[in-house]
Amino acid sequence: MYLILLIGLSLPLGIYMNKVMSGEKVFLTRLLKPVENGFYKLMGVQAEEEMSAKRYAISVILFSAAGFLFLMLLLLLQGILPLNREGMKGLSLDLAFNTAASFVTNTNWQAYSGEASLSYLSQFLGLTVQNFLSASVGMAVLYALIRGFLYKEKKTIGNFWADITRSVIYILLPLSLIVAVLLVSQGVVQNFSSYKEVTTLQDGVSQVLPMGPAASQVAIKQLGTNGGGFFGMNSAYPFENPTSFSNLIQLLSILLIPAALLVSFGKAVKDKKQGRTLYVVTVILFAAALFFTGLSEQYTAPSYAGVSSSGNMEGKEVIHGVGMSSLWAVGTTAASNGSVNSMHDSFTPLGGLMPLFLMQLGEIVFGGIGSGLYGILAYVLLAVFIAGLMVGRTPEYLGKKVAPYDMKMVCLLILVPPLVSLLGTGAAVLIPAVSGWLTNSGAHGFSEILYAFSSMGNNNGSAFGGFTANTPFTNITGGIIMLLGRFIPLIAVIFLGGNMAGKKSVAASEGTLSTSNGMFAGLLIGVILIVTALSFLPALALGPIADYFTTR
C-alpha cells in the first residue's frame, strides 16, 4: 500500500516539479511569481542569466559557507539571544562546528538532544531554515547536471540562484505547509510555550514535557530528506510522531520528492523510458531491502521458552511494530534522511545490516533530494562505460559520449563517500578511549562505529544509538567528513554537467547500447552492488555479519 501511494503521488508531483525547475508556468505562478521576482531583486541577480560550471560551483560553495557561518554563530551565541525560554547555553565550539556542518550538508547528524540543548530560535531560524536551503542546493545541482545532458555545445548549465529560489518557493514551502498542518492535526506540537510540568497518572510523579515549534520542522526535515529531530528521540517521540497516520504521512514525505524527481528526469530529458528504468531499479532495490530487513526482524530475534513474541520488539514502539519500524528504517537510509521511529541499535544483526548497507550504497535508492538521482546517474555512466569497454565501443548516454574526464568526475562522486566513511571508522577504532564511547563491545560495538561514520560520510544522519557522539574527536572529525562527503561529489556533479553541456549530441545507431531496457537495469543493479561490496564487505564482515554468527 505504501509503494502504491508513493508512486501515485510522485507521478503528478514529478511533472509539476519539472515545470517549476524549467521555468514554465504552473498553477501557483500567478500567486508566487511576484515573490520569486522579489527575491531576485533582493539578491541583485537576473534569473535568465546562465552560469558556467565554475561560476555555478563557486555560487554553491559561497552560499553554503554563508549558511554554515550563520548557523555556527547562532548556536554559539544562543544563550544571549531571544526566544530562549528554557535558558539554553551556547553550544561548545566543536559541537557547534559539527552541527553547522551537519545541517548545511543535508546530513542532520545530531550529537545532542534538541529539547535539552537548543533554543526555539536555534531550532526554527537555524536548523529549519537550513533544512530548506540544503535540500534546495541538492535539487539545483541535479538540474545543472540534467541541463548538461540537454544542452548542445553550450558553456552554461543554468542559474544557481534561480534554481534554489524556485525549488524553495514553488516546491518545498507549499508541500511543507500541507504536511505541517496534517501533523498538527494528529497532535504534533507547534507553539512557543514554556515547557510544561505535569504529574503522571500512573506513578503520580512530576515530569517535564518539552514544547516548541516542532511540526514545522518535522515537515521539512522529512520532505527535504534532512531527518534531524526537534526532540532527541526523533520520530520515536510521541510529540513528534504520535499516531499511525502521522507515521504514514512522514514515511511518504521521506521518499516523495526523491521519487518524483525520477519522474521529472524522464520528462526533462524527453525520454520517459529513461526515468522509468531508474524508477524500476530503485523500487527493486528498495523492495529487496525491505523484505530482508522485515524478515530478519521478524524471525532472527532470540526466542525464549514460555515467552510469546511477534518478532524483535526491543527498541520499537508498540504502535509501529516490526513492520512499520522496518519500513521506516529502510526508507530513511535509502534516502539521505536519517530520522528514526525505532532504535536501530536494537535491531537484530542482520536487520541492522541492511540500513547500514543502504547508506553505503551512496543513498541512491530514491536517495536524498537531488543527491540520490545524481548519485544513481553516476552509476549509470559507470555501467555504460563498462559495457562500452566490453564491446569495444565509445560509451554514450542520452546522446552524449562519455569521455575520460567524465569518468574522473564519476569516480569522485562514487568513491569519496566510502573513502571518508572508512577513514573515519579506522581513525576511531585506533583511539584507546573509543571503548568508553560504546554501549556494546565486540562485533556489535564495531558496528556502532561503522554505522556512525557511514552515516556521516554518506550524509544520512541516523545512528545506531549506542555510540557516544558528543566528543571533540567525533565532532571535529565527523564535521570534516560530512563536508568532504557532501561537497566533493557535489562539485564533481557540477563540472560533469558543464563538460556534458559543451559536447555535441550524437545520433543513436544500431550499435548504441540501450539504457532503458531490462538488460541494462540488471547491469546497473549489478554494478551498484559490486562496487559497494568491494568497498565495504570487509568492514561488514567484522561488524554485523560477525555479530550475527557470535550472538546466535
pLDDT tens by residue, 276-293: 999 999 999 999 999 999
User: How many CB atoms neighbour CB 470 within 10 A?
Assistant: 17
Which 3 state secondary structure label does DSSP give 206? strand
Q: Can you say whether the dihedral through the CA atoms of 66, 67, 73, 78 is positive or negative?
A: positive
Q: What is the pLDDT of residue 552?
A: 65
Q: What is the pLDDT of residue 466?
A: 82
Mean pLDDT of 453-469: 90
374, amino acid identity: Y
First-last CA distance in the chain: 34
186, amino acid identity: Q
pLDDT category at 301 given cuts 50, 70, 90 is confident
Q: Which residues contact 493 (CB under 8 A, 6 or more apart)?
A: 141, 142, 144, 145, 374, 378, 409, 413
pLDDT category at 391 given cuts 50, 70, 90 is confident
Mean pLDDT of 102-120: 93
CA 45 to chain CA centroid, Å, is: 29
Average per-residue pLDDT in the chain?
93
175, amino acid identity: L
> Under a CB-based contact definition with an 8 Å cutoff, are residues 456 and 105 in contact?
no
- For every residue of 388-451, DSSP letters joined together read HHHHTS--EETTEE--HHHHHHHHHHHHHHHHHHHHHHHHHHTSGGGGGGBSS-HHHHHHHHHH
Reply yes or no on whether the pLDDT at 503 is more than 70: yes
Reply yes or no on whether the pLDDT at 176 is more than 90: yes
Which of 58-72, 144-158, 171-185, 464-478 shows the lowest per-residue confidence on average (mean pLDDT)? 464-478
Cell 559543451, residue located: 502
Find residue 401's DSSP bridge partners: 396
> Pairing state of beta strands 396-397 and 400-401?
antiparallel
Reply yes or no on whether the pLDDT at 404 is more than 80: yes
User: How many CB atoms neighbour CB 274 within 10 A?
Assistant: 21
Reported pTM: 0.95
Reply yes or no on whether the pLDDT at 417 is more than 80: yes
Find residue 199's DSSP bridge partners: 206
Q: What is the pLDDT of residues 205-216, one digit of tens each?
A: 999 999 999 999
Q: Where are the alpha helices (DSSP H) in 269-335?
A: 272-299, 321-334
CA 490 to chain CA centroid, Å, is: 14
How much of the chain, in percent, has pLDDT values that exceed 70? Answer: 99
Distance (Å, rounded) from C-alpha 371 to C-alpha 100? 19
Mean pLDDT of 469-484: 95
Q: What is the pLDDT of residue 445?
A: 93
> Under a CB-based contact definition with an 8 Å cutoff, are residues 328 and 342 in contact?
yes
pLDDT category at 534 given cuts 50, 70, 90 is very high
Cell 553541456, residue located: 501
Distance (Å, rounded) from C-alpha 333 to C-alpha 290? 11
Distance (Å, rounded) from C-alpha 474 to C-alpha 107? 15
Reply yes or no on whether the pLDDT at 392 is more than 80: no
Distance (Å, rounded) from C-alpha 19 to C-alpha 286? 27
CA distances from 237 to 219, 319, 365, 383, 394 (A): 15, 12, 26, 42, 54
> Under a CB-based contact definition with an 8 Å cutoff, are residues 430 and 398 in contact?
no
Distance (Å, rounded) from C-alpha 60 to C-alpha 161? 9
Mean pLDDT of 26-38: 95
CA distances from 249 to 185, 227, 349, 430 (A): 12, 14, 28, 42
> Under a CB-based contact definition with an 8 Å cutoff, are residues 266 and 275 in contact?
yes
Strands (E), 145-268: 196-199, 206-209
- If residue 493 lies in a helix (H) or strand (E), which one and from where to where? helix 472-501
122, amino acid identity: S
pLDDT category at 372 given cuts 50, 70, 90 is very high
Distance (Å, rounded) from C-alpha 317 to C-alpha 348? 16
CA distances from 385 to 54, 406, 449 (A): 25, 10, 35
CA distances from 243 to 2, 186, 303 (A): 16, 7, 29
pLDDT category at 508 given cuts 50, 70, 90 is confident
pLDDT category at 193 given cuts 50, 70, 90 is very high
Q: Which residues contact 417 (CB under 8 A, 6 or more apart)?
A: 362, 457, 458, 459, 485, 489
Q: What is the pLDDT of residue 100?
A: 97
User: How many CB atoms neighbour CB 549 within 10 A?
Assistant: 10
pLDDT category at 308 given cuts 50, 70, 90 is low
Distance (Å, rounded) from C-alpha 465 to C-alpha 437? 11
Distance (Å, rounded) from C-alpha 30 to C-alpha 49? 22
Q: What is the pLDDT of residue 390?
A: 84
Assign 3-state DSSP to the chain and report helix, strand, coil percentages, each to 5.
Answer: 65, 5, 30
Reply yes or no on whether the pLDDT at 307 is more than 70: no
Which of 209-218, 378-387, 512-521 shows the lowest per-residue confidence on average (mean pLDDT)? 512-521
Q: What is the pLDDT of residue 415?
A: 95
Reply yes or no on whether the pLDDT at 468 is more than 90: no
How much of the chain, in percent, has pLDDT values that exceed 90? Answer: 85
Question: What Rg value do the Cα atoms of the chain yield, rounded?
Answer: 23
